[in-house]
């Protein structure tokens, strides 16, 4: 095939993929509007939740909106927590850009609308990232990649976390995190994109996903060392270095504050019961706490949940029927 024909074929495939992605975005927006009952501009001004950790995110976003705090700098809100002010420096966070985005966008459209739109974007990003990996890495056919992307964007985990834990809802980074070390890093565009991802993941998602990505890079590096693949060793090592460097940068305010004022152990420690609660329990991946199918819910309740002395975040870990089937296929294939 001549160079001109090859370029025309590439352009056509790129055009088709772009059209499919636009259709995917439209479907995600439509489904999101229906499932969350946010069908017009006024509906977007109603928060999905207004309790728990969401209040902390809203408080930080409001502080960014008002200009009381800025990313990367010490965070102290003088007009809260009188007479000393509200000190936000002792708790390390890697999702500063996420809360800042909610706040800065809220200056234009309002805080609750901003939160809901950012949450909608989490669904869109999840669908698009999954589709791109399915199509370009695993070479899935369009109908399969499209359908799986919708399922991934509207997983049970997303409904469980929702805006209450919006950094956890930003799991769109996971497909990229699992595949970047094994892509063609010799391609300059892919490598530059991977560098950008390695840096920005620290500011737009939860630290758990940053640690996941760091572990994938670390064990991939060991694998490439064993295979004596010098090019992959260098590229993966650079990405791992940037991942660690960006973590330090996004937490530099906290690190410096701790250095100057010592540790706040009440913020940085978890009790033993909390460790039991938040630790992943493998049976809960497969057993729903609530389900549309009564026999599944009743089976899980009678055989597991009613008998366990310590439960995790029951329901948060459940993969869903499609997720369980997918995990089974990964194992056997």
Same domain, 246 and 290: no
Distance between CA 119 and CA 125 in Å, rounded? Answer: 10
Distance of CA 299 to the CA centre of its chain: 31
Same domain, 25 and 107: yes
Q: Which two tokens stand for residue 260?
A: 């100057």
**pLDDT value for 175:** 93
Same domain, 264 and 281: no
Same domain, 159 and 82: yes
Stretch (H or E) spanning 87: strand 86-87
Distance between CA 209 and CA 54 in Å, rounded? Answer: 19
Distance between CA 200 and CA 194 in Å, rounded? Answer: 10
Best CA proximity match to 62, nearest among 82, 77, 83, 43: 77
| Helix, strand, or coil (residue 261) | helix
Same domain, 161 and 274: no
The domain of 206 spans 3-269
Select from 224, 242, 269 the last residue of a domain.
269
Q: Give the alpha-carbon dihedral of 237, 179, 29, 57, to 10 degrees.
A: -40
Phi, psi dihedrals of residue 76, rounded to the nearest 5°: -140, 120
Same domain, 323 and 221: no
Same domain, 201 and 329: no
β-strands 76-77, 86-87 pairing: antiparallel
Same domain, 260 and 137: yes
Same domain, 148 and 169: yes
Same domain, 214 and 286: no
Select from 224, 252, 269 the last residue of a domain.
269
Q: Is the pLDDT reported for residue 178 higher than 80?
A: yes
**pLDDT value for 254:** 82
What percent of the chain clears pLDDT 70, i.e. is strictly above it? 93
Select from 238, 269, 300 the last residue of a domain.
269
pLDDT digits (tens, 9 = 90+) for 21-71: 999 999 999 999 999 999 899 999 999 888 778 888 888 899 999 998 888
pLDDT digits (tens, 9 = 90+) for 223-278: 999 998 888 999 999 999 998 888 888 888 888 888 888 777 776 677 777 777 77
Residues paired with 87 in a beta bridge:
76
Contact 174, 323 (CB under 8 A): no
What percent of the chain clears pLDDT 90, i.e. is strictly above it? 35
Same domain, 216 and 284: no
Structural domain count, the chain: 2
Distance between CA 112 and CA 166 in Å, rounded? Answer: 13
**pLDDT value for 216:** 93
Q: Under the phi-then-psi rule, with left for phi > 0, alpha for psi from -120 to 50, and beta for the rest, what region is 46?
A: beta
Distance between CA 195 and CA 180 in Å, rounded? Answer: 10
| Nearby residues of 45 by Cβ (< 8 Å), 6 or more positions away | 110, 112, 113
Same domain, 261 and 274: no
**pLDDT value for 104:** 95
Q: What angle do CA 190, 192, 195 make, to 5 degrees?
A: 110
Distance between CA 287 and CA 282 in Å, rounded? Answer: 9
Mean pLDDT of 304-312: 82
Mean pLDDT of 145-161: 92
**pLDDT value for 10:** 55
Stretch (H or E) spanning 226: helix 207-227
Best CA proximity match to 37, nearest among 22, 24, 48: 48
**pLDDT value for 158:** 92
pLDDT digits (tens, 9 = 90+) for 70-79: 888 888 887 7
């Amino acid at each position: 095939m001549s160079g001109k024909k090859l370029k025309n074929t590439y352009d056509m495939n790129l055009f088709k993929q772009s059209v499919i992605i636009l259709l995917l975005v439209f479907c995600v927006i439509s489904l999101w509007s229906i499932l969350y009952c946010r069908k017009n501009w006024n509906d977007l001004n109603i928060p999905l939740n207004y309790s728990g950790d969401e209040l902390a995110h809203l408080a930080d976003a409001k502080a960014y909106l008002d200009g009381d705090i800025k990313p990367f700098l010490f965070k102290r809100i003088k007009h809260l927590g009188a007479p000393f002010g509200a000190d936000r420096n002792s708790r390390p966070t890697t999702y500063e850009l996420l809360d800042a985005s909610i706040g800065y966008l809220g200056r234009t459209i309002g805080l609750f609308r901003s939160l809901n739109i950012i949450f909608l974007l989490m669904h869109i990003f999840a669908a698009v990232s999954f589709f791109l990996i399915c199509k370009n890495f695993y070479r899935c056919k369009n109908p399969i990649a499209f359908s799986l992307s919708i399922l991934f964007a509207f997983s049970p985990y997303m409904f469980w976390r929702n805006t209450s834990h919006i950094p956890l809802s930003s799991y769109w980074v996971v497909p990229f995190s699992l595949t970047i070390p094994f892509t063609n890093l010799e391609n300059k565009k892919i490598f530059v994109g991977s560098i950008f991802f390695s840096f920005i993941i620290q500011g737009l998602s939860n630290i758990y996903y940053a640690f996941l990505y760091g572990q994938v890079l670390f064990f991939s590096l060991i694998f490439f060392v064993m295979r004596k693949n010098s090019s992959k060793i260098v590229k993966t090592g650079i990405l791992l270095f940037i991942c660690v460097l960006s973590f330090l940068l996004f937490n530099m305010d906290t690190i410096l504050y701790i250095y100057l004022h010592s540790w706040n152990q009440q913020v940085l420690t978890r009790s033993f019961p909390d460790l039991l609660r938040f630790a992943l329990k493998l049976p809960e991946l497969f057993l729903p706490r609530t389900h549309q199918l009564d026999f599944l819910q009743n089976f899980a309740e009678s055989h597991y949940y009613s008998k366990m002395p310590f439960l995790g975040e029951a329901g948060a870990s459940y993969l869903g029927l499609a997720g369980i089937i997918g995990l089974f296929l990964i194992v056997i294939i």
